[in-house]
Amino acid sequence: MKVTCTAISDVMVIEPKVFGDARGFFTESFNQKLFNEATGTQFDFVQDNHSRSSKGVLRGLHYQLPPHAQGKLVRVTSGAVWDVAVDIRQGSPTFGQWVAETLTEDNHKQFWIPPGFAHGFLVLSDTADFLYKTTAYYAPHSDRGIAWNDADIGIQWPDLGVDFLLSDKDRKQHAFKNAEVFAA
């Protein structure tokens, strides 16, 4: 597995080894021991989630506060998404900054988003199956979000030539300056 740190070093792109031939491909999509060694972390994953969305669906920016903060290892098994992580750790030198990665069924890339980051994605293809492992269970009372289009963060979402489709929850998220974030 190849691990590449992004401009925010705690967020990493993971590329598992893919073995392909005329029949298709094989890849070990997750191995806890190799993940820990490659990322230098000791997180255990407790929940797997799967969503299917159509082109233009934007989900996020979501996170959970401690003690239920979630790290997420995300990937796409069908289609393509543009995936975003925003540093919401007060006192971090990259507080309020974001990084993004395109994840597709063909590039097999995974995105490691540790606790302390808000997360969102935009579907680029007609449909996309998005899978993610989390380091904590979903806890509704710790669930928080930030507006996807917050000017203070300034995410440059790709222009798909269609209006983004958002849930009611995501349309009503807080501005970054009013959001509960991770304490220093």
Token reading at 70? 């979630």
Coil, strand or helix: which one is 107? coil
Catalytic residue among 68, 108, 119, 132: 132
CB-based burial label for 41 (10 Å; 0-12, 13-18, 19+): middle
Angstrom CA distances, 111 to 46, 142, 145, stand at 17, 23, 19
- Residue 34: CB atoms within 10 A of its CB come to 15
Cβ-proximal residues to 127 (8 Å cutoff; 6+ apart), any chain: 52, 53, 54, 55, 78, 79
Look-up: residue for tokens 């255990």? 44
Catalytic residue status for 174? no
Catalytic residue status for 132? yes
Catalytic residue among 50, 62, 141, 174: 62
Token reading at 129? 């199956």
Which amino acid does the sequence have at 63?
Y
Taking the C-alpha atoms of residue 61 and residue 52, their distance in angstroms, rounded to an integer, is 17
Q: Which residues form the catalytic set?
A: 62, 132
